[in-house]
Each structure stands twice: as C-alpha cells, then as structure tokens.
Amino acid sequence: MALELAGERHELWLDAAPGTAGVYLLTRAERRAIPVDEPSGGRSHQALLHLRKRFGGTRLSALDRIPGERALTLTAGPAVVALRLWGPAPSLTLVVDGEPLASLGTGAPAWPPPSPAPEREWPSVEPAHLQAAMGEASPARAILSACPGLGPDLARVLARGDLSWEELKRRLGDPHPILFLPAPLESLRDADLAAPGAVTLLPVIVPGLQGTVLRPASWREAAATLLSTRRRGGRFRARRAAVMDEVRREARRLRALEDHLARDLAGLPPPDELRRQAEALLASAGAVAAASNEVEIPDPYDSGLRIRVRVDPRLSLPANADRLFEKARRLERARRQIDARRADAREKLQQAQVREAGALAARDLADLGEAASRAGARSPENARGAAPRHYLTARGLSVLVGRGARENHRLTFAVAGPEDLWLHARDVPGAHVILRDPEGRAESEDVREAAELAAFFSDARAQPQADVHVTRRKHVRAARGGHGRVRIDHSDTLRVAPRDPEGRLRRRL
C-alpha cells in the first residue's frame, strides 16, 4: 500500500511471517530491493486479494499499538487490519464491519485483539512480577508474558542475568536503534543470515550479543535493514531446505532401487545350469522319451552323475532343449540389463551426494540454483506424462500399470475390458494393474508376473512378500472418496515377491 509522507512516496509493508512480523515504512528503493514470493493460490492468495481490495487507494485513519501487548491495528474506514506479533506463529487478520474476512500467517486469527494492559508496559510493570518470572522453569517466556513489550531478545538478557531490571530500565530511558549483525553489512552473505535471529534490532546496548554493531540514523532505516536482512536469510534457508529435501529424497529412491535390483539379480537362476540341462537333453534325445513332466538323464559333463530336468511332455527333448537355451539367453540379457541399471543408479547416487554437499556449502541463493535445478529436474519417465506403463509378460500378454489416482481410475474404468484381470496390492496404496485377457489366454505365470508388478508399484515394494488382489475387472466398482478408490465384489489373493520389471519384462513405450 502507498502512503504519502512529507511529500515523498513511501510504501507500508505489512508482514505476518515468523521473524519479520510487523509494519514497516519503506522507501520505494528499499521496497524494490526486497524480493517478494507471492502465493499463487490458496488461503494466503485470497487474503492478499481482499487486503488490496479493501485497503488499496484508501486513507489510513489510525495506526494503534495496544498497550501492554505486542499487537496493533490499522484502520481505514470500515476496514481494520489486526496484527499479532508475539509467538512463533504471528498472524494478520482483515476485519470489515467487525467481522473477520481473511487472515495471513501461520498462527490463529489476530481478531479479536487482546485488551489493553497498560500495567504490563515496561515503565509500569511491577519488579515483583519480573522477580517471580525469573524463578519459573522457562524464565525468558515468563518475563515476556509479564512484559510483552520487551520482546524475546531483552527477555533472554534478563533471564540470563546479563543485566538487572533496574539497569535495563535506566538504559531504556534513552533508546537508540542498534542492529547486531554477524558481520559488517556490506560483507554479509546469504548463509550468514540464515540462522533464526542472526540479525537483531534492539533499543539499547546489552551484554552477551556477539557480532558487528550497526547504528542506523533512524528507527525507520533500522527496521528496513532488519526486514531486508532477515528476509534474505529466510529465503536462503527455505531454498536450501527445499533443495536438501529433494536431493535426499532422490538419494533414498536410488538406494532403494539399487537394493531391489540386487535382490532381483540374486533371484535369477544361473544360465549355465540351464545350458547344462539343455545339453543333457540333446545328448539323451535318442535314448529317453519325454513321457512325464520330468526326466532323469546322464550329466554330459560327468558320466557318473545323473540330473533331473523338468520338461514339457508334449514336446520332443530337442524342442525342450531349445526352450532351455532361449531361457538362458534371456537370463543373460536380464543380468546385463540389471548390472547396467545398478551402475547407473550408483552413478546417479554419487551425483546426488555431490549436489547435497554443494547445497551444504552454498553461501548465497545463487549458489543453490544449479543444485535446485538438478534436484527438481523431471526424469524422462515423468516427462512423458501420466500415461500408464505398458509391459509384456514372458508369453506376450499386455500388462498396464497406472500412474496416480486419476490414471488408475481411467485405466480401470475406461481402458480395461470386463474380462481383463485387475490386480492391486492388498491393504496398501498402489497402482491399479490390468492384465489384458480378452480371450482367456492368461496362465498362472502371466498372473504371477502381473502380481509382482502390482506389488512393486505399491507401498509394499520394500517387503519380502506382499498379498495381491486378483479378479476380473467386471467385479470392480468405483467407490466414493475420490479417484482410484474402488469396491471389489470378490477376488483371489496371490502372495508374491515385489520385483522390479526392468530387465525382466519387455516394455512397450
């Protein structure tokens, strides 16, 4: 909001953020130097729109501080803004015709304001009240309750015993704006300002505060410097926390992926053993007939041993051997793909650790730009949008895996046919999985592979075993409560190990 003061244009800054809550009178240059991150939606955005509508272009008729409280009100016609400054969650509330209309800040609404308590003003407070507060378990908080106008910094000074109440009152009789900074103002970096309370504004010199002392020419200039430096530190702190959270989440995902790939690799049968069985079948093709599901034949590499090989009795022994050779080749390809994915995951994990170290070492907001952009970059898979993942079972049947609640709903009720198989991990959030089976060709191996997908793309992926619903899509109905929620008329339960499909199942893009 713009105010005219002594023929010069100023802006009134209303702030309800922790650490900077207050009302500031800024020059235009000071205002432009302070970056603003306005909310793009939600309650805060609506509150800003109401404030601008009710206060923009109006004449401010009163600005009142409530005696004995760290609270104030601004009045412009029928509109009032109440600002509560105390506590870790300040609040600003717009009131029109006596009714609260909107609030800013993380605290409870600031309306109605507290009643005036002039007896709690620092010149009037009883020394006995402060002496009693000193004996409380949390003396600084008790002192602040007895005399809110002191503020938390002076309350801590008294609680530590750095100054007596009589000496502090004497100094408060001749106040001057004094800023305590971690370093000279011109040399401050964003990281120097990131700690809460790194910059302090006080009316007197007090012992126990470290750093550089700055004496601004006016209270208005001191408050503007406090606001600017604390907002610099707050933006840096929030951005670094966001980057660290994103990078560490990515590192956890990569570690989990590497663990899953290692388990998948350990679960693959050795291809050399399959080749040995295939060669034994070829060597015994003329001597043994495949009359059952298993044959016992001599080991071609050790004539004194015999080995048992599972076969399909409908096929000849050479045809069964060809199947084993093909399975061995697929296993070798899967091992190579898993090894490549593990190496890629390890490399990306190292990159994430480097970005984390860079964020920890950052000194300015600009230093976080590269780490933030890398951490927030979308993977190629995410960039493709919300289309379902599409895999093929070993026998060539299509398996579709939903991404997110909306896609799950669309996949189940708009894409899947009534005779397709529907799968979902039991009792945990997860993807809807559709095994295409319009002709009833799905066998137990297809269903098992689809169930492993349903378990993997669910919150049960870290478990060694998971239960999975298996039913025809015609037995699944949409339920109330939002996209993705369903009611199952009846289903079977299949217990499987969650397995990453990469390297095992072919994928259609």
Query: In this predicted structure, what is the pLDDT of residue 96?
Result: 93
Q: What is the 3-state secondary structure (H, E, C) of 55-102?
A: HCCCCCCEEEECCCCCEEEEEECCEEEEEECCCCCCEEEEEECCEEEE
Q: Report residue 454 as tokens.
A: 């349903």
pLDDT digits 0-9 by tens, 400-452: 999 888 889 999 998 988 889 999 999 888 999 999 987 778 899 999 999 99
Query: In this predicted structure, what is the pLDDT of residue 370?
Result: 52
**Four-CA torsion 24, 27, 29, 30, nearest 10 degrees:** -20
Query: In this predicted structure, what is the pLDDT of residue 435?
Result: 94
Query: In this predicted structure, what is the pLDDT of residue 48?
Result: 84
Which residues lie closer than 8 Å to 217 by C-beta, 6 or more apart?
Answer: none
Query: In this predicted structure, what is the pLDDT of residue 387?
Result: 75
Query: In this predicted structure, what is the pLDDT of residue 386?
Result: 56
Per-residue pLDDT of the chain (509 residues; tens, 9 = 90+): 445 555 567 888 888 888 888 899 998 888 888 877 666 667 788 888 888 888 877 888 899 999 999 999 999 889 999 999 877 789 999 999 999 999 988 888 999 999 999 999 999 999 999 999 999 999 999 999 999 999 989 999 999 999 999 999 999 999 999 999 999 999 999 999 999 889 999 999 988 888 899 999 999 999 999 999 999 999 999 999 999 999 999 999 899 889 988 988 888 888 999 999 999 888 887 777 666 788 888 888 888 898 888 888 888 889 989 999 999 998 888 888 888 888 988 999 999 999 999 999 999 988 887 544 444 444 444 434 457 888 888 888 889 999 888 889 999 998 988 889 999 999 888 999 999 987 778 899 999 999 999 999 998 888 889 999 999 999 999 887 777 889 998 889 999 999 888 766 766 55
Cis (ω within 30 of 0) for the bond into 112? yes
Question: Can you tell me which residue has the tokens 């002392």?
Answer: 213
The DSSP line for 206-269 is -TT--SEEE--SSHHHHHHHHHHHHHHHHHHHHHHHHHHHHHHHHHHHHHHHHHHHHHHHHHSP
- What region, left, alpha or beta, does residue 406 occupy, with left being phi > 0 and alpha being psi -120 to 50 degrees? alpha
Query: In this predicted structure, what is the pLDDT of residue 176?
Result: 95
Query: In this predicted structure, what is the pLDDT of residue 470?
Result: 95
Give CA–CA dist 233/227, Å, rounded. Answer: 10
Query: In this predicted structure, what is the pLDDT of residue 40?
Result: 60
Eight-state DSSP code of residue 414: I
Give CA–CA dist 337/345, Å, rounded. Answer: 12
Do residues 171 and 204 make contact, with C-beta atoms less than 8 angstroms apart?
yes
Helix (H) or strand (E) holding 146: helix 139-146
Q: What are the phi and psi torsion angles at 451 (to 5°)? A: -65, -40
Do residues 506 and 394 make contact, with C-beta atoms less than 8 angstroms apart?
no
pTM: 0.65
Query: Which candidate, 232, 233, 230, places its Cα nearest to that of 20?
Result: 230
Give CA–CA dist 328/414, Å, rounded. Answer: 39
